[in-house]
Structure 1
Amino acid sequence: MSVNSEPEDSTPVTWFVDEAGDPTLFGKGGKVVAATEGCSRFFIAGKLECRDVDALTADLERLRKDVVADPFFKDVPSLDPARKRTAVHFHAKDDPPEVRFMVYKLLALHDLRFVAVVRDKLRLVDYALQRRGIDPTYRYDPTGHELYDELTQHLFSRLHGWSDHKIVFAQRGHKPRTKAFVDAIAQEGDGFTRDFGLSKPKPTEVLCSVPKDHAGLQAVDYYLWALQRFYERGEARYLNFVWPQTLEVLDLDVEPTRKGKKSARQTGIFNKEHPLTLESRAGVGRMDREI
């Protein structure tokens, strides 16, 4: 666990939480499908701190209305209200490149801070196969809830302030998992108290919702998309753009490369002191094959 040393004020904040990638490891017959066509290699959870939700909401809504009304985007499929995509809310994967550029430029103007936790699913495959060899009854949870809860615990073990805070997390599947989410945070809070003798502030409210109802969920999706492009494709330009607003990326599957003074490659922690670049994380991931 890590305690952030930068000064904090007492302004109430809202953390918006979402994920990128899919949790799938195995297909039919137990075949490994992680990192194959149509299945991500990495699973990422991220949270975005926002100190002025109203301002962010107003700006994103204004931009969305401008885009919908702009004749340049006439007949663009994602702008068709019937498809319920860009015309309803921003989503980096679905938005046209021109819209994506405008959203990133807008987000850079706001007081936002991003934190993420990353897992390499091929490492999870190794773990699942080894565990099954020891215990034949073991089965990896195909819903991904177990993996998501693990990353949530890590995500909220990274203490980045003592302000009063509210948490809005994106709904997974058809049923809200608010209790499981709260339990994961509480479990990590108990661990923090045990290890450091300090009590972390508890959230004043925890909500499960969908992006169309919260601009912050649309925003965190954009930061996660940038990080996902880096990990899955070795494409750094989007991550480079949001890096000034990124507090930390915790990579759980980075292996040490040398002894002596600890580097990001040894701790798995990438931040302002140890930026996440193609070079600093070289040697791991699909990016090795595509650069």
Structure 2
Amino acid sequence: MGDTTFYGRGKELILGREGVSATFGIGIVKFGRPLHEIRSEIVALQQQVECDTLLNTIPSVAKRVQRDGFFFHACKDSDDVRSIFLHYLRELDCEAEFVIARKNPSRFTRKHNGKDDEFYADILSHLIKRRLKRPQRMILNIAERGSSTRARILDQALEKAVGRASKRWESDELKGEVVFNVQTPSREPLLAVPDYLGWAIQRVFERGQTRYYDYLQDRIRLVVDLYDASRYQGSRNYYDRRNPLTTKNKIDPQIT
């Protein structure tokens, strides 16, 4: 959700401009039913949109149909297309966790060496670190994102996650195994689920709009506002069903 962009041509800071997000986040979704069943249901919905003569003439739909076939994409879908998937998602047996990072140029330079890939790897590491203690093999379908999802960067994220987990648990307690499977939304329908949930969360942080988040709140188990230092005490930067996001969570771009 969002983008990792800070600078434009000539290293000009463009954070806060139209089309450049003030936050970047990554989420993980756990499904309560067999994946093949959910995948088939989403494919059926996609085909429904493709065959609907009221919807398949919408430019954003027609463009995807002509390329690789229609797939849901929250920020590009029109309201009427979006409502189809929102209604489905509200009833879907799943739960999601998201880590949200406020984009601050000073932190980006100091902590991530001014590199988008390192920024991405660091955020991803926070998402998976707690899962390394569970004795399970996790196959994570990762949405392709240019150079940020190359094997080297994903390995870096896992290494960071192990390092962070090791500060909390002994090394021999970290029994979780992580396998990354990089996919494109046109080929993996399940990616529409975190895409839509992340979009709903981003609307809160970027616009102060809670409508979609409220509608999907039962599907969102946890949101971590990673860099909200003002709320670190008592883990108040952790948002769940007892401490939901509100319009007060809207932030302004941190351009210093």
TM-score of the alignment, normalized to the shorter chain, above 0.5:
yes
Amino acid across the alignment from 2:200: A
Aligned to 1:77: 59
Q: Whole-Å Cα distance in 2 between the matches of residues 84 and 230 of structure 1?
A: 33
Q: Summarize the Cα distance change of 1:59–1:252 in structure 2 as closer, same or farther, 3 Å threshold.
A: same
Q: CA deviation at 1:245?
A: 1.2
Cα displacement (A) at 1:42 = 0.9
Deviations along 1:183-207, whole A, 9 cap, x unmatched?
Answer: 412431343244222214113x421
Which amino acid in structure 1 is aligned with residue 177 of structure 2?
K
What is the distance in 1 between the residues matched to 2:133 and 2:85? 27
Give 1:81 shift. Answer: 5.4
- What is the distance in 2 between the residues matched to 1:85 and 1:230? 32
**1:109 and 2:91 matched:** yes
Give the AA of the match of 1:170: A
Which residue of the other structure, out of 99, 106, 124, is the alignment partner of 1:126? Answer: 106
How far the C-alpha of 1:48 sits from its partner, in A, is 1.6
How far apart in 1 are the matches of 2:198 and 2:232?
29
1:78-132 Cα distance to aligned partner (Å, 9 max, x none):
23256657942111112121121110111222221111111111xx213357x59
* 2:177 maps to which of 202, 205, 222: 202
- What amino acid sits opposite 1:101 in the alignment? S
Compute the TM-score of the two structures, normalised by the length of structure 2.
0.85
* Pairs within 5 Å for 1:234-253: 234-253=208-227
C-alpha change, 1:82 and 1:56, in structure 2 (3 Å) is: closer
The corresponding residue for 1:17 is none
Q: Secondary structure at the match of 1:126?
A: helix
Measured on the aligned residues, the alpha-carbon RMSD in Å equals 2.9
Alignment partner of 1:270 is 2:236:
no
- AA partner of residue 75 (structure 2): K
Alignment of 1:1-291 (within 5 A): 20-51=1-32, 52-80=34-62, 84=66, 87-121=69-103, 124-128=104-108, 131=110, 140-141=114-115, 144-159=116-131, 162=134, 163-173=136-146, 177-197=150-170, 198-203=173-178, 205-256=179-230, 262=234, 264=236, 268-279=237-248, 281=249, 285-286=251-252
State the match for 1:16 in structure 2.
none
Q: Distance in 2 between matches of 1:72 and 1:176?
A: 36
- How many residue pairs are counted as aligned between the two chains? 249
How many angstroms apart in 2 are the aligned matches of 1:189 and 1:66? 43
CA distance in 1, matches of 2:244, 2:113: 36
Query: What displacement does 1:32 show?
Result: 2.1
What displacement does 1:29 show? 4.2
- Superposed CA deviations along residues 230-254 of structure 1, whole A, max 9, x for unmatched, are 1111111111122211121111221
**Preserved contact between residue 85 and residue 94 of structure 1 (Cα < 8 Å):** no
- Answer yes or no: is the 8 Å Cα contact 1:42–1:120 preserved in 2: yes
What is the distance in 2 between the residues matched to 1:193 and 1:186? 11
Larger Rg: 1
Q: Distance in 2 between matches of 1:112 and 1:233?
A: 26
Q: 1:29 to 1:67 in 2, by over 3 A?
A: closer
Q: Are 1:21 and 1:228, in contact at CA under 8 Å, matched by a contact in 2?
A: yes
TM-score by length of 1: 0.75
* Structure 1 gap ranges (5+): 1-19, 133-137
Tell me which protein shows more helix as a share of its residues.
2
Q: Which residue of 2 aligns with 1:4?
A: none
Q: Give me the whole-angstrom Cα distance separating, in 2, the residues matched to 1:172 and 1:84.
A: 22
Paired-residue identity, %: 23
Q: Equivalents in 1 of 2:62, 2:70: separation in Å?
A: 9
User: Could you say if the C-alpha distance between residues 154 and 29 of structure 1 is closer, same or farther in structure 2, counting changes exceeding 3 Å?
Assistant: same
